[in-house]
Homo-oligomer: A and B are copies of this chain.
């Protein structure tokens, strides 16, 4: 279920909801024997203001290096991205990533320095350019305004569902759109960036402000998602703004900027939530909402600590109200707060129960608790009662299937 926002209307169309963008996705056979779509292309009819944030992992995929270089001038016009192979830790990785850009540029008749390139999949296996080279012309010729869903499908790895969100809103009387697709299911503990996330908008906004908006929004959305505590080598979130909505270009942090950032939040927060929900092997979405923290940093740490605890995650797989494990996870959060004043409430659409207060576990009815925790979306609400800061983090339960998926991933 998407979280709704006033003044922003959720619409269909994903990355093609914004004016000027087309997309598509095909099977190029990057992983031998797989018939899944594995090559995606997003393209705009004009050059866009563009921004991106990247993984903080010391090991970085070759596409990250190439994209960084291409975005130095804040301009991009297309995205080429493959799944099935991360093109990371390979001798010829940069060369392959650059070739992907050149091939795409030639097919679209644009500049290869205006191409964003991404790869996701297994690390440390050579990526052959041949299947990509063969398919790019076909992919370029079939780009369409209804291609968001195909592109979204083509970037999936262990994802079980497409993550595609778009909103419509107005800026100075002009109708604007922001849409995004993302992939990511395991190796998820983003740091400054995320899995792969591609966002488009037709709002006119300067590249520097686009960068600022993306960073600020990622910090409170993608950077608050944890599936397994592993930060990927290929994380990247990028955004392109075509300006075709013809609003007055956003050039300072004014009211229009706030409106734009809120729209971006509506898209990225929902994509982030859907990513947590689709965590490898997950059966339910877990949200930890912390308030009463002495600083935003402590609120963030506490929320992520609960969401990241393997023991909390395993207990929630069994819909078990194991309050001790939640307290334990809060207890190893760094920061100045008094655990004895902390209050913990478990809630879902089936009801709520307070399980901890004043340093003591509260008695509760096991059946009621089990019923509440059996919902598709469960919230752990924590009040540290030590200040006025808040944060929300998203995660999922830990299941047999997480182990199964990751023990068998390469085979």
Contacts and interface: CB of A to CB of B under 8 A. Distances in A.
Given A191-B332, A327-B124, A328-B233, A403 B59 contact: no
Nearest to A230: B311
A331 B317 CA distance: 30
A89 B324 contact: yes
Contacts of A411: 318, 320
| Interface class of chain A by DSSP | loop
Interface stretch (A40-48, A143-151, A241-249, A354-362): A354-362
Contacts of A309: 229-230
A314 B360 contact: no
A186 interface: yes
Contacts of A399: 403
Q: State how many copies of this chain the complex holds.
A: 2
A361 B314 contact: no
Given A230-B309, A331-B233, A123 B91 contact: no
A356 B233 CA distance: 16
A343 interface: no
Interface in A64-105: 86, 88-91
Given A57-B331, A58-B333, A317 B407 contact: yes
A90 B122 contact: no
A230 B407 contact: no
Nearest to A339: B58
Interface size class of A (residues with CB under 8 A): 35 or more
A324 B124 contact: yes
A229 B313 CA distance: 12
A206 interface: no
A162 B308 CA distance: 29
A325 B187 CA distance: 9
A123 B58 contact: no
A30 interface: no
A187 B318 contact: no
Interface in A50-67: 56-60
B308 A229 contact: yes
A166 to B, nearest CB: 32
B328 A123 contact: yes
A125 interface: yes
Given A231-B331, A311-B406, 12 more contacts: A57-B332, A58-B332, A89-B324, A89-B359, A91-B360, A123-B361, A228-B311, A231-B328, A232-B328, A310-B402, A317-B403, A403-B403
